[in-house]
A and B are shown apart, each in its own frame.
Chain A
Amino acid sequence: MKKCIVAAFLLLAFGTAVHAEDSTAAPQGADDASKQKKDDCILNAKDCGDQALSIENKIQRLKEEIAKGSRVYTPKELQKLKHKLEDANDVLDELLFHPTNN
């Protein structure tokens, strides 16, 4: 009985959270102009405004920027983006790394 009550509470709590739909979703389908532009926030951590990227979001953005390729970025900048992607993947791995006790 006790378990059922707690389970119901948890479901209620999470269920309420479910209703808070994602207002913070990343802006989708940025306009065509941005497809030809460098993203200075991703590349140099400049002009980021007050945005903070979640790790999954950051990985997604880095992949998008790398996909723009040499049309937009110099080889050196591309290398930098690739390293940043490696690093971000490392962080994700570490966050999800089997969290053993000791």
Chain B
Amino acid sequence: MGNHGKFSRYALALWVGGSLVAGNASLALAVENEFHVAYTVRSIVSNFDDGSCTSLGSGISGYANGVNGAFDKTKSFTTLAHKTYDGFITEQKARLNYSGKVDDDLKVIAQFDISYLFGQGQYMENYQNAGLKQPGYADGGGLGGGDVDLRTKALYVDYRLENKPVRFKVGLQPFTDPYKGTILSNVAAGIVSSYEADKFELQAGWFRLHAVELDLAKSGSGAESIQGGKYIDPATGLPFDDSWRTDDFYLLQGTYKATDALTLGASFYAWQSDWKSTFNSGTGAGSVSPTTGTTTATTGLTPLNQDDLELYYAGTTAEYKFGKGGVLDGFFVYNFGERVNHIAKTKQHVSAFETSASARIPVGNSGLLRSTVIYTSGDNNPNGKSRSDFGGVVNVDGMPESYFTYPGTLLLFTSQIGAVSNRNVLHSVANEGTGITAGFIGYDHNFTKKLFATANAGFAAANENPYQRQGHYIGTELGGEIGYKFKPTATIRLQGATVLLGSYYDGVASDGTTANPKNPANPYTARIVLSYLF
């Protein structure tokens, strides 16, 4: 357990501190209620982009695969066909944000999402494998409506100590790291305390990312057993019975304002995944010991209790402001610790890094030139004793919980503008261990107070080649948008982008053969987005 115990005590102290102050509210004054709404409706025409309301890898990609119902959770390009099919979907998303203030120092914040695909909902119970439909996923937009579809995206108490620069946030809250979201960027339940002074700000916090029982083996589904992250029994290919997994994320970070223009930051994060498993391959002879990996003849249960993963991130940031709205910034993160290779059952020492630099340069009064470059270290052999590939936090399904939205691209990475997409060429800056070198350049221009346009270009290349692809070049994205703010609270956008795939995807199309390999089609997307923010 090692450091884990210490961390747990710290987390407990934080929790007690957080709850004590939260319970210490003085007598209520007039309650101040505030509601805000963000509403987005968008139509997408694409051979790849399936928006954010379809389940992962379904929707348009279902068509693109040419196999109705293919549930491509890995969202990997290798399942894309040379011949793609255009899809057309419309979806809407509403966010309701409520904050209730008891007094100046204490408030509660709740945020709910109601989102769905037009047409997905009622009457589809019998068609759960028919492409668009996944059970319980963003229903409500089907004929007749009437589905229950409310998601809690934030629910926390925000408390400031009276007359002291100390603040606590307790509960389910958004968190994005200062490394442009490349380590952890999502909503998580936890406690963050901060100390704010003129020149510097300090934050300490703890998030519980997962507390789940993994008993998918009971369902006997082969499709589920291959999803990442679980202890897989090599003999049966099934995950262990009765695994209990807890994931914690601890953070300590600060910023220091050296001058009006220059801000420096540093942080230390720890991500720990703890597994307690009962080994039960259950078939007597031929079952495999979880500790040694050797075949034994015993039947029954062997308890397993070990730290599955301990990763640390030590990073620094610097930001320099100049002129009217100009910003230069950069960061470096060293990523180290230990992972467990579930298949080989060996520990892997991790030593990896990522670094990035960005510039935002105003052009005249109405233009903004943006550029960012990023490099993440990769590894040619992710199954070795040591690993040099940088990796942010991933969830229990093995999918990244980091979102590099900063470049503003629509397809290479997801974009926050006009709601994200579930399907991107790159899901994280790690790119499943290859590491990437990527660069982006964009230009925003306001023609009038209401009319604006953006042009974007970007490229990405893999640094290592663990999957023996034909080449390293991932692709070049070209895209842009035109927007019109027709009310102070409402904007309509036309967006479009395409990625010219590089040699990294040569010959990986699913309808190719060894004798006759084919390249997947270049993905494109075109969207009309209407957003309303009140």
Contact = CB atoms under 8 A, between A and B. Distances in A.
Interface of A: 2-3, 6-7, 10-11, 14, 17-18, 20-22, 24-26, 45, 54-57, 80, 83, 87, 90-91, 93-101
Given A10-B90, A22-B487, 20 more contacts: A3-B45, A7-B45, A10-B530, A17-B487, A18-B484, A18-B492, A54-B489, A54-B533, A54-B534, A94-B109, A94-B153, A95-B38, A96-B38, A97-B174, A98-B414, A98-B420, A99-B52, A99-B95, A100-B403, A101-B422
A91 B403 contact: no
Contacts of A93: 174
A2 to B, nearest CB: 7
30 contacts: A2-B88, A3-B86, A6-B88, A7-B45, A7-B528, A10-B43, A10-B90, A11-B528, A14-B492, A17-B492, A18-B486, A24-B488, A54-B36, A54-B533, A55-B36, A56-B488, A91-B109, A95-B38, A95-B95, A95-B97, A97-B153, A97-B176, A98-B414, A99-B113, A99-B153, A100-B52, A100-B186, A100-B403, A101-B53, A101-B137
A91 B88 contact: no
A101 B56 contact: yes
Contacts of A20: 486-487
A53 B181 CA distance: 30
B107 A24 contact: no
A-B interface, 5 closest residue pairs, ranked by CB to CB distance from nearest: A95-B38, A18-B486, A22-B487, A54-B534, A55-B36
B445 interface: no
A18 to B, nearest CB: 4
Nearest to A2: B88
Contacts of A91: 34, 36, 97, 99, 109
B182 interface: no
A101 B93 contact: no
B211 to A, nearest CB: 15
A45 B492 contact: no
B32 A45 contact: yes
Interface in B62-93: 86, 88, 90, 93
Contacts of B478: none
B416 interface: yes
Interface of B: 30, 32, 34, 36-38, 43, 45, 52-53, 55-56, 86, 88, 90, 93, 95, 97, 99, 104, 107, 109, 111, 113, 115, 137-138, 153-154, 158, 160, 174, 176, 181, 185-187, 403, 405, 414, 416, 419-420, 422, 484, 486-490, 492, 528, 530, 533-534
Contacts of A22: 486-488
Contacts of A57: 488
A95 B107 CA distance: 17
B420 to A, nearest CB: 5
Contacts of B489: 24, 54, 56
Of listed A55, A94, A96, residue having the most chain B CB within 10 A = A94
A98 B405 contact: yes
A95 B534 CA distance: 10
Nearest to A17: B486
A98 B416 contact: yes
Given A6-B43, A94-B109, A94-B111, A54 B32 contact: no
Contacts of B154: 94
A93 B52 CA distance: 18
A59 to B, nearest CB: 11
A77 to B, nearest CB: 11
Nearest to A25: B488
Contacts of A11: 528
Nearest to B30: A45
A83 B486 CA distance: 31
A6 B90 contact: yes
A87 B420 contact: no
A47 B52 CA distance: 41
Nearest to B415: A98
Nearest to B45: A3
A5 B38 CA distance: 27
Contacts of A2: 88
A23 B42 CA distance: 25
Contacts of B530: 10, 14
A10 B493 CA distance: 12
Contacts of B111: 94-95
A41 to B, nearest CB: 11
Contacts of A98: 181, 185-186, 403, 405, 414, 416, 420
Contact of B420 (A10, A17, A95, A99): A99
B492 A101 contact: no
Of listed B86, B158, B489, residue having the most chain A CB within 10 A = B489
B42 to A, nearest CB: 9
Contact of A55 (B176, B405, B533): B533
A55 B486 CA distance: 17
Contacts of B107: 87
Contacts of B45: 3, 7
